[in-house]
Amino acid sequence: MHDGCAGSFESERQVVDKVREMGFSSQPMPMPLDINCVQCDKTFEMVYFEDKCPECSMVYGVTPCHAFDPVNVKPAGINY
């Protein structure tokens, strides 16, 4: 699945699963990121390592190692 910061994920949902497993899902990121939602195409500010689009409830996640770039933020599914 994921091996520290050098690891990779087999699916986008595994990113959110890993953030939850590590206990970071409700922790604020060092710097919020503007995310363009893949579901509804609205932009929202992602503040936590696991966050949700306020328009359509698409859940997004990013690991702490990769929270510096919106490219690393992965969608997991609506209300995942």
- pLDDT means per 10 residues, the chain with 80 residues, are 62 92 95 97 98 98 93 96
Tokens of 33: 């990121």
**Radius of gyration for the alpha carbons in the chain, expressed in angstroms and rounded:** 11
pTM: 0.90
